[in-house]
Amino acid sequence: AQTVTQSQPEMSVQEAETVTLSCTYDTSESDYYLFWYKQPPSRQMILVIRQEAYKQQNATENRFSVNFQKAAKSFSLKISDSQLGDAAMYFCAYLNAGNMLTFGGGTRLMVKP
């Protein structure tokens, strides 16, 4: 079974600054997908970014980018030019070959004005 670990329960960042959220995972599979989801106070789970393991190029979506290190089984999320609306819980997730998601415990991001 896969495990996903987010070692930072809470992070804070100054508005307009950059922050990196960490995620590591454990797997014996070679083909899989990784995701970051955002959960604001509304509780809605919102997809932030997705990475296919077979792609060497790191995914980017506007101010959000990842640092995917397959050998190290590391998948960190970088948020540039942080905005107040970025404040939320962020979950790292692993999708296995059986089409099932495993989530990390989450990181609460606070953005200071």
Partner 1 sequence: DAGVIQSPRHEVTEMGQEVTLRCKPISGHNSLFWYRQTMMRGLELLIYFNNNVPIDDSGMPEDRFSAKMPNASFSTLKIQPSEPRDSAVYFCASSTKQETQYFGPGTRLLVL
* Residue from 8, 58, 95, 108 in contact with partner 1 (CB under 8 A): 95
Q: Over the range 16-44, which residues count as b (16 or more CB within 10 Å of their CB) and which as e?
A: eeebebbbbbebeeeebbbbbbbeeeeee
Nearest Cα residue to 9 out of 98, 81, 104: 104
Contact track, partner 1, 50-89, x by CB under 8 A:
x---------------------------------------
Q: Is the CB of 30 or the CB of 42 nearer to partner 1?
A: 42
- Indicate the pairing of strand 19-21 with strand 74-79: antiparallel
Contact track, partner 1, 6-35, x by CB under 8 A:
---------------------------x-x
Going by the DSSP 8-state scheme, the letter that residue 105 receives in this structure is -
Binding residues for partner 1 (CB under 8 A) = 33, 35, 37, 42-47, 50, 91, 95, 97-103, 105-106
